[in-house]
Structure 1
Amino acid sequence: MIPALAVYGVEKRFGATQILRGVDLAIEPGERHALIGPNGAGKSTLFNLIAGGARPNAGRIDLFGAEITRLAPAAITRRGLARSFQTTSVFARLSVFDNLRCAAMLAERDRTRWWQRFSGSRTVDARADQVLEAVGLSARRHIQAGTLSYAEQRALDLGLALAGGAHTLLLDEPTAGMNRAEAARAIELIRATTAGRTLLMVEHDMDAVFAIADRVSVLVQGRIIATGTPAAIRADAAVRAAYLGDNVRT
């Protein structure tokens, strides 16, 4: 089976500083995969390379077998990969519904002429409505996105990726900044809305990692030191010594 997302021998330097040191990673279609590791391990750098925000010094990145290593972010998005950032990226002055309509319009761009996209396409509206309900924001439909709570904005961020039709999602610390109850709701939302899609997430909350991920990879000092099921990673002595320590319950 061709991996949904594959990274082959990726290296990245900033000046004389080596950040990534030959990273290999393969994620199967429909798999939920977590990337964990200490601060400074290179997780955000790897995300940025996959999403097209920078280019590696060596190596290759494929999306469903097609190379995307040197494509611009917009071109990668058009191929079905969407990324969320540690901070929200919603359009603060637009309503929640109009945020989702904008994302749905992009998904329809190849199927409709430009004037149809801006004239209330029923397909766009239906897609936005579907996602609005899926992310639990139907009651917030008409309010400005900038007035949502932080947790609600993260839910809308996820909704933008879904409305845009992405089949592969990169989620960068989706529960960061949330209290325990908000994080629990976010975990359930991610599990429900990403079913059937490929997911790669960076997350420091081990409860979230072990609740969501099918497999986990551990990045330490720019190298993947282990990949396995959550149970295998939890029990791996080398991983515990390098990163998990006493931060995860056995």
Structure 2
Amino acid sequence: MIPALAVYGIRKRFGPTHVLHGVDLAIEPGERHALIGPNGAGKSTLFNLIAGGARPNAGRIDLFGAEITRLAPAAIARRGLARSFQSTSVFARLSVFDNLRCAAMLAERRRMRWWQRFSGSRSVDAHAEQVLDAVGLSARGHVRAGTLSYAEQRALDLGIALAGGAHTLLLDEPTAGMNRAEAAHAIELIRATTAGRTLLMVEHDMDAVFALADRISVLVQGRVIATGTPAAIRADAAVRAAYLGDGLGGGLSGGLSGGFGKGAGA
């Protein structure tokens, strides 16, 4: 089976500083995959490379078998990959519904011939309404997006990706800044709305990681040191040693030992 998302031998340096050292990663279609690791491991850099925000110094990135290594972010998005950021990226002055409608409109325009685009507003509106309901914001559709709570804005971020027709999602710390109840709700929302889609997320909340991920990859000092199921990663001696060696015994390593809890830092 061709992976939905694959990186081969990815290397990245900033001046003399090497951040990624030959990273290999393959994510199957429909898989929910978590990328974890301590501060400075290179997780955000890898996300940025996959989404087209920067270019690797070496290696290749494929989306469903087609190379996207040197494509611009907009071109990658048009191929069905959407990225959320640690901070929300909604259009604050537009209504919640109009945020979703803009994303749905772009998706519809890609499917239509130019002469069909003027009659497509009903399907756009219907799709936006469907996503609005799916992310639990139906009662907030008329308000400006900038007035939403932080957790609601993260839900809207997810909705924008869904309305835009993305089949592969990169979620950067989707529960960061949330309390326990909000984080639990966010995870259930992600689980429900991304069924059948491919998901790669960076997350430090081990409750979220172990509740959502089918497989986990551990990135330490720019190298993937382990990939496996949540149970296998929890029991992996090399993973535990890497975290304990970085002085994280009270954080992520505690999560690996079964206590979970909020994770180890960015």
TM-score by length of 1: 0.95
1:19-58 aligned at under 5 Å gives the runs 19-58=19-58
Distance 1:101 1:117, change over 3 A: farther
Distance 1:118 1:100, change over 3 A: farther
Aligned partner of residue 110 in structure 2, secondary structure: coil
1:1-250 aligned at under 5 Å gives the runs 1-112=1-112, 117=117, 121-243=121-243
- 8 Å CA contact retained: 1:5, 1:27: yes
- 8 Å CA contact retained: 1:172, 1:203: yes
Deviation at 1:120, TM superposition (A): 6.7
- 8 Å CA contact retained: 1:30, 1:196: yes
- 8 Å CA contact retained: 2:108, 2:120: no
Deviation at 1:116, TM superposition (A): 6.3
Which shows bigger deviation, 101-110 or 47-56? 101-110
Measured on the aligned residues, the alpha-carbon RMSD in Å equals: 1.8
Distance 1:120 1:146, change over 3 A: farther
Once the two structures are superposed, residues 145-188 of structure 1 have per-residue CA deviations (whole angstroms, 9 ceiling, x without a partner) of: 00000000000000000000000000000000000000000010
- 8 Å CA contact retained: 1:51, 1:73: yes
Deviation at 1:110, TM superposition (A): 2.3
Distance 1:247 1:148, change over 3 A: farther
Distance 1:224 1:204, change over 3 A: same
- 8 Å CA contact retained: 1:83, 1:169: yes
Identity across aligned pairs (percent)? 90
Distance 1:114 1:88, change over 3 A: farther
Deviation at 1:111, TM superposition (A): 3.0
Distance 2:26 2:4 in 1: 8
Once the two structures are superposed, residues 110-159 of structure 1 have per-residue CA deviations (whole angstroms, 9 ceiling, x without a partner) of: 23366865777111101100100000000001000000000000000000
**Stretches of structure 1 lacking an aligned partner (at least 5 in a row):** none
Distance 1:244 1:171, change over 3 A: farther
Aligned partner of residue 82 in structure 1, secondary structure: strand
Aligned partner of residue 20 in structure 2, secondary structure: strand
Distance 1:101 1:77 in 2: 17
Return structure 1 stretches of 4+ with deviation > 6 angstroms: 244-248
- 8 Å CA contact retained: 2:135, 2:156: yes
**Stretches of structure 2 lacking an aligned partner (at least 5 in a row):** 249-266
- 8 Å CA contact retained: 2:6, 2:61: yes
Distance 1:153 1:244, change over 3 A: farther
Distance 2:56 2:183 in 1: 33
Which shows bigger deviation, 196-205 or 108-117? 108-117
Aligned partner of residue 159 in structure 2, secondary structure: helix
- 8 Å CA contact retained: 1:105, 1:117: no
Distance 2:51 2:180 in 1: 29
Distance 1:247 1:6 in 2: 31
Distance 1:118 1:19, change over 3 A: farther
TM-score by length of 2: 0.90
Deviation at 1:238, TM superposition (A): 1.1
Distance 1:244 1:32, change over 3 A: farther
